[in-house]
Each structure stands twice: as C-alpha cells, then as structure tokens.
C-alpha cells in the first residue's frame, strides 16, 4: 500500500504504526512540490494510511483527532488568475526549475520568479498551516556616535534599506501559491523589478516603520509579530521597525519570512544594513556614489539563487612548490551517488528507528492546545555574567566539547526531569532533537565567505540521546548526568558533521515529507544553536574608516511558535552566553517555560561548579 523506491525504513515505520510527525526531524508536510531530481518517490496510495496513524496517534497523545487537519493543499489561495508560463531569460541559466526566470504572463512591471525548494518548502507550509510558525525576528540595540533626531534617523535607515535591496533584492521578494488547473500545486518566490528610484522609495516607506512609543524590542516583537509572514500572496514579507530611545541610542527590529531567509541570513542582512546606515550617516559622498551604483531595473541580477544550484564542487588541494599541502582538497556536496545515498539512508533510518520512542515534556496546559486556535508567541531569556560565561568556556575546553554540546546536554535533561519515565533505568525512550545546522560551508566557494549567502541554507538530521543515560545514574549528581548527556551529544554532532551530503539530500527528504500538511504537535524540546553572534553580525560600523559610527550593544533572535514544544536557543555576544526560549503561551504557561529556563541555566552552572 505504501511504497518507497529507495528508502524501505520509512515504509516499514509507517506499517509499524509510527505517526508521520515522528518520522522525520522537524516534519511538516505539503503536497506536489516539484523535486530537483527523481528519487524516492512516495506514492499517493499511502496517504490514507498516514492519515489513519495521525489520528490514532493524536488520540494516544491527548489531542483531539479532529484538530489534526488532514488536507492535501492547505495553503493560501493563489491570487494569479491563470497558471503562468515561464520563459527563460536572465538571470536564469541551465535547466534547474529553481533558477530565477522571467514571468512572461505577468502584466505590468517585469517579474521574476523561481520555485521554492528544500527547507523553503517546509517554512512555506508551516507558515500557511500553523499560523505563521517560524517567522523570524532579529532585534538589535545600538548607539550612534553623533546625535540624530528620530525622523532623520528614520530617513537614513530607509536609505540604507533601499541600498540593501540593491545588494539583496530578495528582501523585496514575495510568495505566491499556484494550484489552478495543474495537478501539482507550486509555490513561487517572486520579485517585481523596480521601475524607478521613486518606486523603491515608496516600498521603503511601506516596510520601514518608526515606533517612538516603545523601546523594548521584545515587547515590540510581541505586538507586531503574531501571525503568518507573509499573511497572504504577493504582499511584502520583510519589515523593519525603528524604536529610538534617545538621540544617540535606538533599536531596530527586523521581521522577515522564514521562506527566503534563515537565522544566520537575517544577521548577515542586518550587518549589511548597518554598514550602509553608518556610511549614509558619516560620509556625505556616500549617497551620490550609491545613487550611481543602484541602476534600478537591473537589480534582479543580484537575486539569491537556491542552494540546490550552488552546492559545493570538488576543489583540488593547494600545494606549494615543495609539494606541501597548503589547503586540503574540498569534497563536493553530492546530489547523487554512493555518498548521497549513504547520507539519505542514515538520516531516514535513524528517524524511523527512534521516532516511536520520543520522550516529551509533560507540563502543558490542559486540555491540550487546539491546533486550530491562533497561537500567542512569547520569548523568555537568561543571560550569564561574563564570569559565568568564562567558567562555562573553561569547563567545555577541559571536557573537550563545545559550549553548544554542553548546553544541549542540559536541555536534554529538562524533559527527563519534567516527565520522569515510568520504567526508569530500563527506559527505551530518547530525547529526539531536530539537529538544525547552518550549511553555508557546503556551498560553492563564491558563496562561502562570511556574508556570501544571506538566504535559507539549513539542513537537519536527528540528534538522539537515550533517556536511560540519565535514569541509569540514580545516585549521580545533576552535573554528572548533564556531562553524560553532553558526551553523547558531542558524538552525535561529530557524526552529523561527517555526513557527506547533509545539504545535498535536503531537497529530496523534504519531498519525502510531502505527504500531508498537518501533523501532531511537537511536544519535545527544540534546540537552535546560534553560536558566536559576531560571526555574522558585526559589533561596530563601518567596517573600514577612521571612526566608529554605530555600535551594536545587544541583540536577540526569535521565531514564532505554534507547537507546544519550546525552541531553546543559545548564543554568545560580547563574551556573554545568552539563553532564550520561544514558546506558544496558549500551549504552555509562561511560568512553566520560565521554570525550564531557570533550570536550564542551573544545570549548566552546576557543571562548572564541580
């Protein structure tokens, strides 16, 4: 009934009674998205079986099966009257369906479009079916060297936003769903070419807003960020909010769709934006130079390509005249062949093997959150002191692990403490974490420099930690349990990094998920490791010049949450390690998440105080 051509473990798991939501890391489904290559075709006949297990599992987890919608095309209705045809023209080249092409059926301004692919598809589906799950926020607090009144700062910020659109036109891209008169619905990313500088000025006025009434970007994020992004087809999906607190201090909140950008990408965007802003503020010659550079009507050549078209090629080793290897050879990121198959098989097998044993949090609001209810996303945070952060770094160095590995080890203990397994040391349960990873180093060389690709470049594989690792140590301290869990995390991270096609397989795995758009709510933890904030977000601007004009003093990143399981996040900024969690306050009470956050920080510190 259910058949896959090259991944039997997925079918076996379905027949064994595993809910599809459990099968794949960070699974959300849609139907009919075209694939980049013909592999692992999931036949339509399996759909009803999948629906059966979804409803059965919903009842087992306390969720009303009627709240789990089983639909094929639960995405916004297209606004285009007819199915468009596409004619190849610049900037496209080659036969990939994911390259930007001129939309000849669009009347009016020149429009380019490309099909979305891989993780972009997931974000499109969850935005449409889960009330905007995943919408990204980057809040930055900054100071400027010379006073500016609020309206002058707003004018300069809009000029910088326009300059950023020239660099990365994708910030003005839109999304459209096309399912009329075709068997397989498609989602397109579109870009309407600017017709004049007046055109982009109008766009900047619509997408950059002054908020003089608020200085807390977290509160501003709460006010403006509830709901899908984009909220409809063919509307803007990238916005800035300016929140000045004095003539020399201000905040900027960036809110963008997760379809074209990821968390690292928005930090790259903010760095580029602040570079332009600093130059506009400090250099009177910068404006005319930029005006001469920005030839509107031709900016489409800077549109970001899809990752499937810019995967890393083999690069030979660089050797000096004496035969010494200066730079080792770089392997390709394959899209076919044994290494590709090995990666896909490992990811799918592990997902199918461990999904039936996922260990969730227990302390959620009763009755469980109704998936049809609009969520309310909030964020809670904790900052370690400089001294505490230094102790954490010293500890992980002594243990030969990374900060993220220790932090995730502590996260894994949270659901075990919150929901002790009945079978204790004999538990077969696992803490299953969606191992989301930045894959920019798997792109072509021209996109691998630090600000080379601000688009969506994530992949994922399971990070699996047995609950028995902690429950089999009843007399051990919390510090010992955290270290034991972190040691397993370290090995899982190494195995993930060694996967030869982690980014290459992403598009196909997403296609294999494209069976049903709605799944059981995720009730375990998520972990998003942002790492050093300064990697993609510089602290001061401009990069070159005699004096600092802007300094970023603090920042945070956040995503909208619909599902009950919080998204735990960690980053480092100016020597301080900072923790946060995004959650849906209609699924889990704020005081509960605050308790988990406090416990997380305590578990990390007990390791440093051994």
CATH number of the domain that 45 lies in?
A: 3.30.559.30
Residue 504 lies in a domain: yes
Distance of alpha carbon 347 from alpha carbon 143, whole angstroms: 45
Q: How many CA atoms lie within 13 A of 139 on its CB side?
A: 18
Distance of alpha carbon 594 from alpha carbon 588, whole angstroms: 10
Pair of tokens at residue 601: 């920080």
Contact indicator for 515, 71 with CB cutoff of 8 Å: no
Helix, strand, coil shares, percent, the chain, to 5: 40, 20, 45
Does the structure show a pLDDT above 90 at 300?
A: yes
Contact indicator for 370, 64 with CB cutoff of 8 Å: yes
Q: CA nearest 575: which of 356, 299, 291, 383?
A: 383
- Could you read off the pLDDT of 345-357 as tens digits, one per residue? 999 999 999 988 9
Residue 68 lies in a domain: yes
- Using 50, 70 and 90 to split pLDDT, how confident is the model at 520? confident
Percent of the chain residues past pLDDT 90, beyond the cut: 76
Contact indicator for 91, 112 with CB cutoff of 8 Å: yes
Contact indicator for 507, 33 with CB cutoff of 8 Å: no
Residue 477 lies in a domain: yes
What mean pLDDT value characterizes the chain? 86
Residue 288 lies in a domain: no
Domain region containing 470: 8-73+333-535+562-608
Does the structure show a pLDDT above 50 at 35?
A: no
Spatial neighbors of 50 by CB under 8 A, at least 6 apart, are: 2, 14, 20, 515, 516
| pLDDT reported for residue 94 | 60
Distance of alpha carbon 326 from alpha carbon 253, whole angstroms: 43
Pair of tokens at residue 74: 């639960």
Residue 552 lies in a domain: no
Does the structure show a pLDDT above 80 at 423?
A: yes
Q: For the chain, how many structural domains are there in total?
A: 1
Q: How far is CA 368 from the centre of its chain?
A: 26
The residues with which 27 forms a beta bridge, in sequence order, are: none
pTM for this predicted structure: 0.86
- Could you read off the pLDDT of 555-599 as tens digits, one per residue? 999 999 999 999 999 999 999 999 999 999 999 999 999 999 999
Which of these ranges, 166-175, 507-516, 534-543, 545-554, has the smallest mean pLDDT? Answer: 507-516
DSSP 419: S
Spatial neighbors of 234 by CB under 8 A, at least 6 apart, are: 79, 174, 175, 176, 190
Residue 389 lies in a domain: yes
Average pLDDT on 211-239 reads: 97
Which of these ranges, 363-367, 458-462, 500-504, 510-514, has the smallest mean pLDDT? Answer: 510-514
Q: What number of other Cβ atoms are within 10 A of residue 318's Cβ?
A: 12
Residue 453 lies in a domain: yes
| pLDDT reported for residue 45 | 28
Pair of tokens at residue 418: 């919150």
| pLDDT reported for residue 96 | 85
Q: CA nearest 175: which of 229, 211, 224, 131?
A: 229
Distance of alpha carbon 333 from alpha carbon 500, whole angstroms: 7
Which residue is it, tokens 């000029």? 159
Distance of alpha carbon 580 from alpha carbon 566, whole angstroms: 10
Contact indicator for 467, 360 with CB cutoff of 8 Å: no
Q: What number of other Cβ atoms are within 10 A of residue 266's Cβ?
A: 23
Q: Is the dihedral of CA 96, 98, 101, 103 positive or negative?
A: positive
Residue 348 lies in a domain: yes
Which residue is it, tokens 């990821």? 262
Q: CA nearest 578: which of 141, 45, 36, 100?
A: 141
Q: CA nearest 434: which of 119, 12, 58?
A: 119
Distance of alpha carbon 61 from alpha carbon 489, whole angstroms: 27
Spatial neighbors of 58 by CB under 8 A, at least 6 apart, are: 64, 65, 67, 68, 520
| pLDDT reported for residue 182 | 66
Distance of alpha carbon 303 from alpha carbon 64, whole angstroms: 44
Give the dihedral of Cα atoms 144, 150, 153, 157; nearest 10 deg.
Answer: 120
Strand order in the sheet with 540-541: 208-210, 238-244, 249-256, 136-144, 550-559, 540-541
Distance of alpha carbon 446 from alpha carbon 598, whole angstroms: 43
| pLDDT reported for residue 83 | 29
| pLDDT reported for residue 181 | 59
Q: What number of other Cβ atoms are within 10 A of residue 212's Cβ?
A: 12
Pair of tokens at residue 454: 């601000």
| pLDDT reported for residue 402 | 97
- Could you read off the pLDDT of 137-195 as tens digits, one per residue? 999 999 999 999 999 999 999 999 999 999 999 999 999 998 775 666 789 999 999 99
Q: CA nearest 213: which of 256, 146, 158, 150?
A: 150
Distance of alpha carbon 311 from alpha carbon 98, whole angstroms: 13
Q: CA nearest 21: which of 100, 129, 108, 114?
A: 129
Does the structure show a pLDDT above 50 at 307?
A: yes
């Amino acid at each position: 009934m259910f058949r896959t051509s090259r991944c039997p473990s997925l079918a076996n798991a379905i027949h064994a009674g595993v809910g599809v939501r459990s099968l794949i890391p960070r699974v959300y489904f849609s139907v009919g998205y075209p694939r980049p290559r013909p592999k692992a075709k999931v036949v339509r006949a399996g759909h009803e079986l999948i629906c059966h297990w979804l409803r059965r599992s919903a009842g087992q987890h306390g969720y009303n099966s009627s709240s789990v919608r089983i639909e094929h095309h639960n995405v916004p209705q297209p606004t285009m009257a007819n199915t468009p045809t596409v004619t190849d023209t610049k900037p496209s080249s080659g036969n990939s369906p994911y390259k930007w092409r001129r939309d000849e059926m669009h009347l009016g301004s020149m429009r380019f479009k490309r099909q979305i692919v891989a993780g972009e598809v997931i974000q499109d589906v969850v935005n449409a079916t889960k009330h905007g799950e995943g919408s990204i926020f980057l809040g930055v607090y900054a100071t400027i060297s010379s006073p500016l009144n609020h309206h002058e700062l707003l004018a300069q910020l809009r000029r910088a936003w326009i300059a950023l659109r020239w660099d990365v036109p994708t910030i003005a891209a839109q999304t459209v769903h096309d399912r009329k008169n075709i068997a397989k619905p498609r989602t397109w990313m579109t870009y309407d070419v600017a017709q004049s500088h007046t055109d982009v000025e109008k766009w900047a006025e619509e997408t950059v807003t002054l908020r003089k009434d608020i200085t807390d970007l977290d509160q501003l994020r709460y006010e403006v960020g509830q709901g899908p992004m984009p909220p409809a087809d063919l509307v803007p999906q990238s916005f800035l909010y300016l929140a000045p607190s004095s003539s020399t201090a201000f905040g900027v909140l960036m809110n963008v769709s997760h379809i074209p950008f990821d968390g690292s990408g928005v930090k790259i965007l903010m760095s580029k934006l602040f570079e332009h802003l600093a130059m506009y503020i400090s250099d009177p010659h910068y404006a005319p130079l930029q005006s001469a550079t920005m030839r509107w009507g031709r900016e489409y050549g800077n549109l970001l390509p899809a990752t499937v078209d810019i995967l890393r090629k083999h690069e030979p080793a660089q050797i000096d005249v004496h035969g010494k290897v200066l730079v080792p050879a770089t392997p390709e990121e394959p899209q076919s062949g044994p290494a590709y198959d090995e990666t896909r098989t490992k990811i799918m097998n592990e997902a199918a093997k461990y999904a039936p044993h996922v260990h969730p949090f227990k302390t959620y609001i009763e009755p469980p959150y109704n998936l049809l209810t609009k969520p309310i996303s909030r964020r809670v945070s904790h900052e370690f002191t400089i001294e505490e952060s230094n102790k954490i770094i010293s500890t992980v160095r002594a243990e030969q692990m990374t900060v993220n590995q220790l932090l995730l080890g502590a996260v894994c203990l949270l659901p075990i403490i919150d929901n002790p397994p009945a079978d204790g040391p004999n538990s077969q349960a696992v803490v299953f974490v969606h191992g989301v990873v930045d894959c920019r180093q798997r792109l072509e060389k021209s996109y691998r420099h630090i600000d080379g690709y601000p688009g969506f470049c994530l992949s994922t594989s399971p990070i699996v930690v047995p609950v028995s690792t902690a429950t089999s140590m009843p007399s051990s301290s919390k510090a010992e349990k955290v270290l034991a869990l972190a040691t397993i995390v370290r090995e899982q991270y190494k195995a993930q990094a060694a996967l030869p096609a982690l980014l290459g397989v992403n598009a196909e795995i997403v296609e294999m998920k494209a069976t049903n758009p709605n799944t059981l709510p995720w009730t375990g933890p998520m972990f998003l490791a942002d790492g050093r904030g300064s990697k993609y977000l510089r602290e001061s601007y401009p990069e070159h010049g005699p004096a600092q004009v802007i300094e970023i003093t603090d920042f945070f990143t956040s995503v909208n949450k619909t599902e009950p399981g919080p998204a735990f996040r960690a980053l480092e900024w100016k020597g301080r390690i900072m923790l946060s969690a995004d959650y849906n306050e209609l699924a889990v009470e704020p005081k509960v998440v605050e308790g988990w956050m406090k416990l997380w920080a305590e578990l990390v510190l007990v390791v440093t105080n051994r």
